Structure 1
């Protein structure tokens, strides 16, 4: 499918500039900071995307003060180019690659943060989120029997044995005659418990200093791209494990009241049946709040309904914003874990209230593209036309849409709304 040409990009820019908030971009609100998350599909070398796409990214991401980026590849040329296009006010910090062992192939990724120095400072602490050896050994010891059964079942799988036999023959041929080395088949192991993350989440401590008169505060931002895979159980195990780690860290007695955590990323929540999935996940969040007691408040804004402003064009399913390019799933999330008494009770406030609705959202570039190029909302396209249209940009732009949440800076006046650059 043909990518967007320069004339089409001009139509897109003109449509967006005429009303950015229609498609979910946050306005600048004095006394607040906007944190966001974007899974940019296979963000690698600069030459893998055209200049108009890079400029589109830069124009959009300047609306965010702190942006977590997932799917950054080994080659950081594109990411650095994006940061430079955004301007001198923006800084960058990225993890090493994660998702495969060094020099053993596989698709590894980096996790990165781009941040606005005029609003956000990066503090000293940078870390991975891992389960240490003692915790892993504890899990192994407590679940040895079920893990052993799962391993034996995988080893004895007939399809796997056939693939293994084929691999061994191909390997012998390769060793004798050279050529292309065969790839060993993956063991179809469905683990009954969590042991480690498929991609290690990346955490950095930031301080929002905001505007004159605003009180500063710090938080640990965690950037995560959790497991998708073949099994729902594995996806839920990773999410639950991350929740356990975060709650353990933010609830530690040694942590002071300023220790807050903001989780940003592609959590790959199984959310394809909102009527069933949302209540299940909300029950988990309620349980986390009980675990945190009076000390910690937990809030996931994108699990809540998002009332639409009259002029907005955002895709919702049963009131919940969708975040993938096909407008069918809410894989991406933002979670707030707060000890700070100034920032608690998120559930009962509209942070830095916009002219309409709660102050969180998704930048719905899918509807922007559809209205700019096809003259109609994406949801009104026939299924075949919609599928073909998505193919034009899901690789060259992304198959996920950016999402954001506005954090209010305490003791400031939120009434002064100005347009973002």
Structure 2
């Protein structure tokens, strides 16, 4: 697997120095803070990423005030090394492993936050989000026919998988003995597809924070929720992904209404939600309708929260770079292959100083005020290798394979997203 050379990493950083705005790299300002989310692919062992990748990751950390990180592995060495590169200005909070029983196979990972001590105050709450045993039991009982059908289908899938495994062993022995030139493919166990939401594949991780004010003003207070939801290509898994997202929305919004019990009144979701946009216009409309239902509840309720998911909207400046099928400006594509908007930031707010969805159309209009964006390192790497007029879809399939091999594992296959919030101040 190839990766950028040390000299190429120098050139990458020089390009970024020349025009950070072209690549959506957030500017550090004294009048505002940057809240960000970044799925850093398999951040575990230090040896698995190059020195150049670590330096670019650290440079990005230093541009943020609060960074939610997904795909932290059980081994915390790489996260600790990244924090040390970013410097003593940053603190850290990290979950234990989620996604499997420790010591057993599964989607084991941690979720974590890096935060700037001078602008962000870490407060007392740290927890995960889960559905209690009684809720799971009730769900299984009331929808038992659907679950029974799914279990029967699963039995058939396992039986077919065992048959393929046996055939693979026979075919491999024949291939190894030179009896055939056809090398067999090892079968893989198909994923178990649930008909209804049962529980999170990885428990979202929550920490409470405050954004320190400029002068005598109240801070922003919020619970940050770091989530990495289900991924899967099968059509039924896409439905399961949607159900998991809606369950998380429901948990946050229901919790946000209980003002007498919540530690902080505002909730900010940052994470890789793996939302599927096969048809970006139709899928986005469906999800936006769900969010509008919540917003309508806010208008009717004294305890409901306003909801804003800016990465469902086309950015007023950058949206033309991500056109929809209709040609209209579209939302950022946050995966390195520029196909999907898996990564999201959602603001559930009672504080009127925090932006609602109407603020998105004017995002970035005033320096230091509300904005949102994405560090488009794919554009940066294209500029280095193919020039500023190049486009990803102009590359041949072999060029694309070689291009992605340079960084998808070494750096990441997701690009970081961010929102800028003006610091609280007396005149707000």
Unmatched 5+ stretches in structure 2: 169-185
Per the alignment, residue 174 of structure 2 pairs with none
- Answering whether residue 392 of structure 2 is matched by residue 389 of structure 1, we say no
Alignment partner of 1:338 out of 337, 343, 349: 349
Three-state SS of the structure 2 residue aligned to 1:62 is helix
Higher relative contact order (CA 8 A, sep 6+): 1
Does the 8 A contact of 1:164 with 1:185 survive in 2? no
Per the alignment, residue 127 of structure 2 pairs with 127
Between the aligned partners of 1:168 and 1:319, the Cα distance in structure 2 is: 48
Between the aligned partners of 2:160 and 2:284, the Cα distance in structure 1 is: 40
TM-score between both structures, scaled by the size of structure 2: 0.86
Alignment partner of 1:191 out of 190, 194, 200: 194
Map 1:313-328 → 2, pairs under 5 A: 315=322, 317=324, 318-328=329-339
Map 1:163-182 → 2, pairs under 5 A: 163-164=161-162
Map 1:65-80 → 2, pairs under 5 A: 65-80=65-80
Between the aligned partners of 2:214 and 2:11, the Cα distance in structure 1 is: 35
Map 1:15-414 → 2, pairs under 5 A: 15-155=15-155, 157=156, 159-164=157-162, 189-229=192-232, 230=234, 231-255=237-261, 258-293=264-299, 294=301, 295-308=304-317, 315=322, 317=324, 318-343=329-354, 345-348=356-359, 350=362, 353-355=365-367, 359-376=371-388, 377-379=390-392, 381-384=394-397, 385-411=399-425
Inter-CA distance 323–345: structure 2 relative to 1 (3 Å threshold): closer
Per the alignment, residue 181 of structure 2 pairs with none
Between the aligned partners of 2:167 and 2:384, the Cα distance in structure 1 is: 55
Inter-CA distance 13–80: structure 2 relative to 1 (3 Å threshold): same
Between the aligned partners of 1:300 and 1:95, the Cα distance in structure 2 is: 25
Inter-CA distance 375–342: structure 2 relative to 1 (3 Å threshold): closer
1:185 deviates by 7.8
Residues 325-359 of structure 1, C-alpha deviations (whole Å, 9 max, x = no match)? 01111010000001123325352365675459971
Between the aligned partners of 1:10 and 1:145, the Cα distance in structure 2 is: 60
TM-score between both structures, scaled by the size of structure 1: 0.87
1:162 deviates by 3.6
Q: How many residues matched?
A: 398
Three-state SS of the structure 2 residue aligned to 1:360 is strand
1:369 deviates by 0.9
Between the aligned partners of 1:291 and 1:152, the Cα distance in structure 2 is: 40
Inter-CA distance 205–347: structure 2 relative to 1 (3 Å threshold): same
Does the 8 A contact of 2:369 with 2:422 survive in 1? no
